[in-house]
Structure 1
Amino acid sequence: MPRTLMTEIIRCQNPSMMTLEGTNSYLIAAPSSDTVAIVDPGPAGHPEHIDALLKAANGRKIEVILLTHHHADHSEAAPALAQATGAPVRAFREDFCIGAGPLEDEERLLISDAVVNVLHTPGHTSDSVCFLLAGDAENGSILTGDTILGRGTTMLDYPDGSLLDYFATLDQLKSLSPHEPMLVLPAHGEPLPDLTAAAEAYMDHRHERLDQFKVYLEQNNIDLADTAVQNSATADSVAIGLYGVDAQSEMGLKITGQMVSAMADYILQRS
């Protein structure tokens, strides 16, 4: 897996529709540091991944465990890793923290001799955060969790995640480095070379889907309010018709149904 000046990626072997090739855990440290921080230690049930993280630490003390958000494929291994190392766990949600307080928006962390800026970036989930390392790579790097993936687009865990929040987050991210390409280090997939380009592509895709969604509802005389109801038959029906998802695919229908309801909710909020 690729490395940068301040990060190393260790990928968990948990590939799936949701995780792509697997969850990317990150070690963060300045080159001269004798400690490391670990971001998103992965899911439970993968002791070999914990072993790989400890091996990558190479004898350095694990100073802190950070979570980009609460989803199980990012957070479940945190208690076991904390118990094994004595490191505290910090997340935006207090109930996922162990031995330390929650992360705050625009908090500046000095960990393992590296400056890490915390950005609250809701949309995928309400508690999603990104970690900005201004001194990393050529023009800085940003660990985006599931907010921006290495390929494809991300889902919104509606109603916890909202499209209104997500558009605001993407707008924030694309403005972080408008003149120099900042490296994107996602929780799934490979790194991307340009944060602004990635955020703009995500925004364009979501607006294109919104336009398709509006046309589909109008053509099929479907009530917008019914579509906004999570797990409703109307949302599932639109997901099948708009996305072409297999009606027998429980996971595919759940993901696309959430996106359909998130789009309906977004339109209703803005009307």
Structure 2
Amino acid sequence: MTAPRIDRIRCDNPSPMTLQGTITHVLGGARQVVIVDPGPADHPEHREAVAAAVAGREVSTILVTHRHGDHTGAAAEFARRFDAPVRGADPSWCLAAGGGHDDGHDGARGPSGAVDAVDAPAPLTDGERLAVDGAALVVIPTPGHTSDSVSFWIPDDPSDVDGAGGGAMLTGDTVLGAGTTMLDHPDGTLTDYLASLERLRAHGAARLLPAHGPERESLAAVVDDYLAHRRERLDQVRGLLAAHGQDLDAVALGRLIYGEDSGLPAGVTTKIAAAQLDHLHRIGER
């Protein structure tokens, strides 16, 4: 196996949360590919652009980095179109090849929250190596943005086991190409997120291929900036708690951090503040 060709296809779904749009990755060799993060539903132009990148090659697997709809919305349709299984860390996003078309299922979530599918594949596991024509992908759980977030390391040399040789890291929403990541608290926690950043730091020689924003040459440089930002924010929160009292709640803390005219919805600033307070509680500071 050798380093694969990697195509990055950006969906036209820009927003404050998706930046310029959600990026689908298609990677592999001359005969076979893997699709990572199919993209949102109801964007036929994006689906056709991904199909053009596949270019008639076999799709061995469709992978999702986490559960958010701008990454998973087209998963069931792609499972049908390419007759390929969908896999993620959460069993709810594991779907049999064909998307359940044999019995009329559409791959939608049922009342239990699970995807209605027959013979769904197993969830992704820590350290699992996925082989595809011309590529090896290593699964690295990176919870924090969501509890089911994973990244995929693609070594240039498939014999590389520790990341020293570089390669590429597909980070989903865990690390972005611009700006910082919002944690979907309480599902995602800052405690998990800091540990995930440290784990990615061990692969710092890799180039960064995020699901939002431009690719970056150094994963380490971006992760270092992220860690510094999170530590500075925690120090700010500690100072605000000292000044305003330990009973300060997430709503009030969010206003103090971002101000009344931040432009961010109140629910977002509250969620960010709640993640900070939760982390301080977990490490015994509250």
Q: Structure 2 length normalisation: TM-score?
A: 0.84
Q: Following the alignment from structure 1 to structure 2, what is the Cα–Cα distance between the partners of residues 6 and 151?
A: 23
Q: Does 1:259 align with 2:272?
A: yes
> Match of 2:65, as an amino acid?
T
Q: Distance in 1 between matches of 2:195 and 2:89?
A: 18
Matched residue of 1:145: which SS? coil
Within the candidate set 82, 85, 88, 2:85 is matched to 88
Return the letter of the residue paired with 1:201: D
In the alignment, the residues of structure 2 paired with residue 155 and residue 98 of structure 1 have an alpha-carbon distance, to the nearest angstrom, of 27
Structure 1 residue ranges, 4+ long, deviating more than 3 angstroms after superposition: none
RMSD: 1.7
Question: Which is richer in helix?
Answer: 1
Cα offset for 1:258? 1.2
Whether 1:199 and 2:223 are equivalent positions in the alignment is: yes
Name the counterpart of 1:215. Answer: 239
Could you say if the C-alpha distance between residues 245 and 145 of structure 1 is closer, same or farther in structure 2, counting changes exceeding 3 Å? farther
Query: Which one-letter code corresponds to 1:117 in the other structure?
Result: V
User: How much has 1:256 moved relative to structure 2?
Assistant: 2.0
Residue 232 of structure 1 corresponds to which residue in structure 2? none
Give the Cα separation in 2 of the matches to 1:53 and 1:245.
41
Q: CA deviation at 1:245?
A: 5.3
Q: CA deviation at 1:196?
A: 1.4
Change (3 A) 1:84 1:126: same
What SS class does the counterpart of residue 171 from structure 2 fall into?
A: strand
- State whether residues 166 and 203 of structure 2, in contact with CA within 8 Å, keep that contact through their aligned partners in structure 1: no
Where in structure 2 are the equivalents of 1:142-221 lying within 5 Å?
142-177=169-204, 181-221=205-245
Cα contact 2:178–2:213 (8 A) shared by 1? yes
**In the alignment, is residue 133 of structure 1 matched against residue 148 of structure 2?**
no
Asked whether the equivalents of residues 4 and 134 of structure 2 are also in contact (C-alpha less than 8 Å), the reply is: no
Structure 2 counterparts to residues 26-105 of structure 1, below 5 A: 26-30=25-29, 33-99=30-96, 100-105=121-126
- Equivalent-residue separation in structure 2 for 1:254 and 1:15 (angstroms): 20
Q: Note the alpha carbon deviations across 1:196-230, whole angstroms, 9 max, x for none.
A: 12111101000000111111222223515xx3xxx
8 Å contact from structure 2 (residues 63, 86) kept in 1: yes
CA distance in 1, matches of 2:50, 2:33: 10
* Preserved CA contact (<8 Å) 1:29 1:111: yes
Contact 2:4–2:27 (Cα < 8 Å) also in 1: no
Distance 2:26 2:266 in 1: 34
Within 1, Cα distance between the matches of 2:197 and 2:44?
A: 35
| SS in structure 1 at match of 2:139 | strand
For 1:253 and 1:34, the matched residues in 2 are separated by 49
Q: Secondary structure at the match of 2:265?
A: helix
Partner of 1:123: 144
Which SS does the other structure have where 1:62 is aligned? strand
> Structure 2 stretches of 5 or more lacking a match?
97-120, 158-164
- Shift, 1:132, TM fit: 0.3
* Identical aligned residues as a percent: 43
2 CA distance for matches of 1:68 and 1:245?
Answer: 34
Q: 1:212 to 1:133 in 2, by over 3 A?
A: same
**Separation (CA, whole Å) in 2 of partners of 1:242 and 1:23:** 28
Instruction: Output the amino acid matched with 2:55.
Output: N
Cα contact 2:39–2:72 (8 A) shared by 1: yes
Q: Which amino acid aligns with 1:128?
A: S
In structure 1, list runs of 5 or more residues that go unmatched.
228-234
